[in-house]
Amino acid sequence: MAALALAAGAPVLAAPADAAAQRLAPYTCKQGYVWREATAGDLVCVTPAIRSQTAAENAAGPSNQQPGSVFCKQGFVWRETRPSDLVCVVPSSRTQAKSDNANAPYRLVDPGATPQGGVSVRTESHQLGGGGYLYATGTGLSANQSVRFYAVGIGTVGPYSLGSLTANAQGALSGWNYVADMRCRAQQTGPATIVVLDQGSGTVTTGGITYAFWC
């Protein structure tokens, strides 16, 4: 399914046919991008050419496997748009998939409108006031993969990169982990939304809000 495009700077949201369509609305891509759909539920926004390439790879994947196994023939590697994606592709396609995952938050109309995921955040105030320290914990992430954090709603800037952590072998951030030192901004008049990217799958969710940028 193609992502809903933008028109005149606003998302074109046709009346959804069912509840499922409504749930997918937060993952609306910016103009010029569509959902990759490498696997079920893959809503990473890519160019139409990459989506076409991905569909062709899915069709050709079995012919690139060693007979009777999931391992790839010489010259091919698993695409790994997410850990379960074992479609055999040329190495450049895997590199492309990792790049698209890393850029996922920047290609959404509003990454701050995505649903709450398995990661939660909290802010501890600076002792002298103004700003604060961001901490995160959570589960349901790609094992041993980078988890990146962004702030959305800081003036006209966004997503604003804050820092990253690495999920453990169980796909979790065990305990509360330090992410970033956030400083207040003179023009900030409300909270910012913290957006979480599971870089191993390209999944974008929200982790909560922070008032640290509000002086």
User: What pLDDT score was predicted for residue 187?
Assistant: 84
pLDDT tens per residue, range 58-108: 999 999 999 999 999 999 999 999 999 999 999 999 999 999 999 999 999
pLDDT tens per residue, range 146-189: 999 999 998 776 799 999 999 999 999 999 999 999 998 888 88
- Strand, coil or helix: what is 40? coil
CB–CB of 57/102 below 8 Å? no
User: What pLDDT score was predicted for residue 24?
Assistant: 65
Is residue 52 domain-shared with residue 132, that is, in the same domain? no
Alpha-carbon torsion, ordered 57, 46, 98, 82, to 10 deg = -70
Residue 173 lies in a domain: yes
CB–CB of 100/51 below 8 Å? no
Write the DSSP symbol of residue 125: E
pLDDT tens per residue, range 109-149: 999 999 999 999 999 998 777 789 999 999 999 999 999 99
The total of structural domains in the chain comes to: 2
Is residue 90 domain-shared with residue 160, that is, in the same domain? no
CB–CB of 158/150 below 8 Å? yes
CB–CB of 147/166 below 8 Å? yes
Residue 70 lies in a domain: yes
Is residue 63 domain-shared with residue 127, that is, in the same domain? no
User: What pLDDT score was predicted for residue 13?
Assistant: 30
Contacts 24+ apart (CB under 8 A), 95-100: 96/50, 97/38, 98/199, 100/36, 100/44, 100/45, 100/46, 100/50, 100/202
Domain limits for position 146: 114-210
Q: Which of 138, 194, 195, 148 is nearest to 170 (CA)?
A: 138
Which of these three, 46, 74, 107, is where a domain ends? Answer: 107
Mean of the per-residue pLDDT values for the chain? 88
Is residue 120 domain-shared with residue 101, that is, in the same domain? no
CB–CB of 191/208 below 8 Å? no
Is residue 123 domain-shared with residue 204, that is, in the same domain? yes
Is residue 78 domain-shared with residue 140, that is, in the same domain? no
Residue 156 lies in a domain: yes
Is residue 87 domain-shared with residue 138, that is, in the same domain? no
Is residue 205 domain-shared with residue 122, that is, in the same domain? yes
Which of these three, 107, 131, 163, is where a domain ends? Answer: 107
Is residue 102 domain-shared with residue 14, that is, in the same domain? yes
In the chain, % helix, strand, coil (3-state, to 5) comes to 20, 35, 45
Is residue 146 domain-shared with residue 73, that is, in the same domain? no
Is residue 82 domain-shared with residue 128, that is, in the same domain? no
pLDDT tens per residue, range 5-53: 323 233 333 333 344 444 468 999 999 999 999 999 999 999 999 999 9
